[in-house]
Amino acid sequence: MKKNIKIIPIILAIVMIMGMVGCSSQQTDSKEAGKDKKYKIAVLLPGPTGYFVATKEGIDKAAKEHNVEIEYADAQWDASKQMSQVEDYIAKKVDLIALCSVDAIAAEKAVKAANDAKIPMLAFTNAIGTDPTGKYDGLVSYVGQNEVRTGELCAKIAKKMLGEKGGNVVLIEGRPGTNPQRNRREGFLQEIKDTPNIKVVYTQTSNWEKEQALKITEDLIQKKTQFDLIFCQDDNSATGAGQALKEAEMKDKVKVIGLGGSKDGLQAIKDKTIDATTYMSAVEEGALAIETAVKYLKGEKVEPVTEIMQVEVNESNVDTFKGEW
């Protein structure tokens, strides 16, 4: 019996040591599991455009690099449909919702719904709310351009083209209610407000579509509207407007500015169908959205805004850019 009593403390000590080793191993395994967790992110797009083909390329590339599962939804330019999609992904308890909004104001309800459900939300490309920087309380972050600043850039290009003489300007805008349409317009008008010799004589939406912009321009020509420059809020519309002017043999008299740096837009500069556009990488924007989301999910600090800047493209530097969409 005495021998057995001496053995018991030794056995207890071994059990305790093994327990500590097991606990340490479990903690290590838990940390490794958290490190390697496959996050599920819902990416909600507003509607079909060529731009988002390139954005998705960047999203998919970053998702693969960061072990992220992506689920896409397209709202077909319907704000109520997009809200339903947000609610669906909240119910699915995804790790994060990355939202490119149909309507900047309507999307505020989506942010509130996600916040109430404790599902983090990030905005990209189309900002939410009225702050032109894209900063919005309740969002993890906004990744994209400052659309007002982009509109200002296009107005500066217009002022250079029109010179001291100035002239009449036609604005062909994107889909009404979207953040780009509202803020690109605001930025353009802000930049020319102290230039009285530049006057906006007509504004119409093309809904980002080439054929609509072509028809708008043809109608203005038929009505003999006097204009010296057309600013389009996207390259699709700019190429349509430029085509209408070429067919009417008026392109040498009217300047056309696009926006976005698409393949067609860059080629249109080379073909002298339009005179200038702007460029930023849609692929980079998509990748940054996912990278920012993953940082947040891992507990790392992210900035409320990650701004991507547009730059001017014209005949002198067009060969240095490569279109993505």
Please check the confidence at residue 49 and state whether its pLDDT lies above 90: no
Contact 265, 277 (CB under 8 A): yes
The whole-model pTM stands at: 0.81
CATH code for residues 39-145+282-310: 3.40.50.2300
The span from the first CA to the last CA of the chain, in angstroms, equals 85
Mean per-residue pLDDT of the chain: 91
Question: Higher pLDDT residue, 26 or 153?
Answer: 153
Task: Centre a 10 Å sphere on the Cβ of residue 113 and count the other Cβ atoms it contains.
Answer: 16
Domain extents in the chain? 39-145+282-310, 148-279
CB atoms within 10 A of CB 224: 6
- Contact between 277 and 258 under an 8 Å Cβ cutoff? The reply is yes
pLDDT of residue 81: 98
pLDDT attached to residue 179: 84
Backbone angles phi, psi at 313, to 5 degrees: -125, 130
- Please write the tens of the pLDDT for every residue from 67-87: 999 999 999 999 999 999 999
- Please tell me if the domain spanning 39-145+282-310 has the same topology as the one spanning 148-279: yes
pLDDT tens per residue across span 157-191? 999 999 999 999 999 999 998 889 999 999 999 99
- Average pLDDT, integer, range 296-321: 97
pLDDT at res. 35: 53
- CATH T-level fold of 148-279: Rossmann fold (3.40.50)
